Amino acid sequence: MEIATLGAGCFWGVEAALRRRNGVKATAVGYMGGTVKNPTYEQVCTDKTGHAEVVQVEYDPAVVTYDDLLNLFWEIHDPTTLNRQGPDIGTQYRSVVFFHTPGQEAAAHASKTRIQASGRYTRNVVTEITPASHFWRAEDYHQQYFAKRGILH
């Protein structure tokens, strides 16, 4: 198993999309990239902690590759909006790939270059690619939020 950590706006929908991918064994929503230890959702929502809402994905690379996950990442959000996804505004909603290995870093940069060159977007892709830091698991009520409410399975 390997780990990927992706931020693409509000983590509820991102987690739901990633959970449906064959080869994804587990997901957890949480916070990464900030300065506060063990942040709460309320703290992160102030846009003062520096954390992004992220999904940490445990996946089987024999079934789904890191590139496959990156391709899905580009499909499920707008990587051209700085610190915003839809109505959600703030650095906690930024588009970000937190890499865990040099291979993930290289793959993320190559993938970002491909998506920018594809012509799919008329604006620049602003997605950050940065080393993974401590993952702070979000409160239990955020985990599989949509599935718990019968919105998505």
Supply the residues annotated as catalytic: 10
- C-alpha dihedral over 12, 14, 16, 17, to 10 degrees? 160
* Edge-to-edge strand ranges of the sheet holding 136-137: 128-131, 95-99, 2-8, 52-59, 24-32, 136-137
Residues 70 and 107 sit within 8 Å (Cβ to Cβ): yes
Q: What's the one-letter identity of residue 56?
A: Q
User: What SS3 class is residue 6?
Assistant: strand
- Interior/surface letters 40-67, b for 16+ CB within 10 angstroms, e for the rest: ebebbbeeebebbbbbbbebeeeebebe
